[in-house]
Structure 1
Amino acid sequence: MDKLALITRNTEEIVTKEELEALVNSEKQPTAYVGYEPSGKIHMGHVLTVNKLLDLQQAGFKITVLLADVHAYLNEKGTMDEVQKIADYNKRCFIALGLNEKNTNFVLGSSYQLSSEYMLDVLKLARTTTLNRARRSMDEVSRNSEDPKVSQMIYPIMQALDIAHLGVDVAVGGIDQRKIHMLAREGLPELGYKAPVCIHTPILPGLDGKKMSSSKGNYISVDDSVEDMKKKMKGAFCVEGEVKDNPVLALFKYHITPRYPDIVIKRPEKFGGNLQFSSYEALEADFAAKALHPMDLKTAAAEYMNEILEPVRKLMVAK
């Protein structure tokens, strides 16, 4: 797989593909980052962007992971002490998932976001950003979007400026980050910074078919036990023949098939024996045609996900 194909696979949107191609073909090593708000368990929705950072790393990018403790504090996720403890836990999870410290730069937001230079830029960007624009940018990620605090309006302005102050070429995030990234692309050049290329990943459906969220409990955590995984997969929303908003199929598309080129669905001989697929598209087609039963799909998903997460469990226990 060539570099561009690797970077663009399983993405929702690239802004812009032409700019990304220019970065890939440049002589200078390009850089990319994701900012993670330390606010709870790392779930498979977060791992979508981790997967993309690993793809970018393989394509030759230098990677930065922002542990956004100040953002979490502004978004009412706890005291600074509480969110910094969660940030340390999150960092260990990311390392266990493959973003090791040898080739990934981990940065705590408070290490630079409280500097006078950064805060002056916050004020400058605030002068050119309307309240409506800030609120629209924050709606998707706000803890309390119905009655937001002023601090939450500062959040997207800071996130835009993180891209500039970290000096990265590419901002990676879920498609729910799009409005914030567009604010960065439009606002940063006015302050003398370059506009970032933006890579957006899809939103992974939760086990109930809705958006995966730690607060809703409909997620798979990276440190779930083997039995937890089996139990969660057994109860996952998965209607026979239905592809849309199917969380089990989503696990195969975004987490399993990128790691396993050949997928085996184990079945008793009396039910036709094992099925083998060399692509996600073939697996989805069989499921849509009702040639693959939901329970067989769920059982296979639990087995593969437990294989993927076993190294994470081991490293987390070792710590």
Structure 2
Amino acid sequence: MDISEKLRLVTRNTEEVVTEHELRQLLESSEKPTAYVGYEPSGEIHLGHMMTVQKLMDLQKVGFKVIILLADIHAYLNEKGSFEEIEQIADYNKRVFIALGLDESRAKFVFGSSYQLSQDYMLDVLKMARITTLNRARRSMDEVSRRKEDPMVSQMIYPLMQALDIAHLGVDLAVGGIDQRKIHMLARENLPRLGYRSPVCLHTPILVGLDGQKMSSSKGNYISVRDPPEEVEKKIRKAYCPAGVIEDNPVLDIAKYHLLPRFGVLRVERDAKFGGDVEYTSFDALAEDFISGSLHPLDLKLAVAKYLNKLLKDARKRLGVSV
């Protein structure tokens, strides 16, 4: 695979790469580059998580070794449960990520607690704290913590640790949603001041919820790996998908970010009087027909539900879960 094709796969469906020039240099100079994503253990793995899982799969195709950080210490700092509870969830998450299609032979799963309590790491946390202002730390916090009137100190240490994870895991490329940008820019700015390399950073879009609003567990506007097929179809049928509208359209986003990269084709089955069956191998063609009105929202929804259930069925089969 030549460099141009590698760059196409790595950067497809991304929001931003910081910087593309550095990414090209990395692909040209390193035979075994490494990339990482950190996940705070979660009880429900949903399509939002799968955005970065899909990107890790793209990276594996071009020769990256990927590291998946199961951030148990981070989850504890963020008040997500006891260490015992978090460990059980993290083990489940690991099984799900593999079931979704990650090549286990080229993936390394690391618990944060395996290195984040070491003397060297904790000393680096203190060093990072000395060169990071309170305002910068607060801006780098996750949105929920940032909105709190009186957040815990632990929630400000959290982003400093995320920046240091990149250095201590020795990765070349840091991957995350675009909401991780402030943390990654903190890492690019401050890690060299501690004697570490500045990472290349790749950001994926944030998947909108099924109602067209921000995805939230409290709203239930997401699809989980554990949702049974009939629930997936029900949710997709009810999803926000106004005719001709591309922006913040969750059904089109699922086709773009999950189904076309995975299957290479989306076949929409229709009665002959409605134009008959049609196949899409690119999102641009799909979007063009949807904007023009030649593809009806219901026909799109039925196709997306069918392919999404196939993707999740394969994952559940690997997990040994029946629904």
Q: What range is the shorter-chain TM-score in? A: over 0.9
Distance in 1 separating the partners of 2:149 and 2:99: 36
- Between the aligned partners of 2:321 and 2:105, the Cα distance in structure 1 is 19
The TM-score with structure 2 as length reference comes to: 0.95
Alignment-derived partner of residue 234 in structure 2? 231
SS in 2 for 1:99: coil
Q: Which residue, out of 192, 196, 201, partners 1:198?
A: 201
Are the equivalent residues in 1 in contact too, given 2:101–2:315 (CA < 8 A)? Answer: no
Shift of 1:145: 3.5
Aligned-partner Cα distance in 1 for 2:145–2:47? 20
SS of corresponding position for 1:11:
coil
Q: How far apart in 2 are the matches of 1:51 and 1:199?
A: 13
The question of 1:249 aligning with 2:252 is answered: yes
Match of 1:32 in 2: 35
2:143 match: secondary structure: coil
Q: Distance in 2 between matches of 1:263 and 1:316?
A: 25
The answer as to 2:30 corresponding to 1:19 is: no
Residue 110 to residue 101, structure 1, CA distance change in 2 (3 Å): same
CA change 1:95–1:262 in 2 (3 A) is: closer
2:146 & 2:89 partners in 1: Cα distance? Answer: 17
CA distance in 2, matches of 1:311, 1:141: 33
1:56 to 59, 73, 85: 59
1:111-157 per-residue CA deviation (whole Å, 9 max, x = no partner) reads 11011110000000000001110110014363864431110000000
Corresponding position: 1:310 with 2:285:
no
Please tell me whether residue 113 in structure 1 is matched to residue 113 in structure 2: no
C-alpha deviations, 1:144-198, integer Å up to 9, x for none?
A: 6443111000000000000000000100000000000000001100000001000
Contact 2:188 2:199 in 1 (8 A): yes
Corresponding residue to 1:147 among 146, 150, 164: 150
Matching of residue 169 in structure 1 with residue 172 in structure 2: yes
Aligned equivalents of 1:83 and 1:215: distance in 2? 20
Deviation of 1:27 after TM superposition, in Å, equals 4.0
Alignment-derived partner of residue 220 in structure 1: 223
Match in the other structure for 1:270: 273
| Aligned equivalents of 1:42, 1:144: Cα separation in 2 | 24
| CA–CA separation in structure 1 for the residues paired with 2:30 and 2:222 | 41
Matched residue type, 2:319: M
**3-state secondary structure, aligned to 1:216:** coil
Residue 257 (structure 1) shift: 1.2
User: Over aligned residues, Cα RMSD in angstroms?
Assistant: 1.6
- Tell me whether 1:91 sits opposite 2:106 in the alignment: no
In the alignment, structure 1 residue 44 sits paired with structure 2 residue 47? yes
- What is the DSSP-based 3-state SS (H/G/I as helix, E as strand, rest coil) of the residue aligned with 1:223? coil
Which of 114, 119, 128 is the matching residue for 1:125?
Answer: 128
User: 1:171 touches 1:199 (CA, 8 Å); kept in 2?
Assistant: yes
Deviation at 1:264, TM superposition (A): 1.4
Distance 1:121 1:78, change over 3 A: same
Letter matched to residue 255 of structure 1: H
Residues 1:298 and 2:301 are matched in the alignment: yes
Percent of pairs identical after alignment? 65
Gaps of 5+ in 1: none
2:170 counterpart letter in structure 1? G
The answer (yes or no) to whether the contact 1:75–1:143 under 8 Å persists in 2 is no
Query: What amino acid sits opposite 2:160 in the alignment?
Result: I
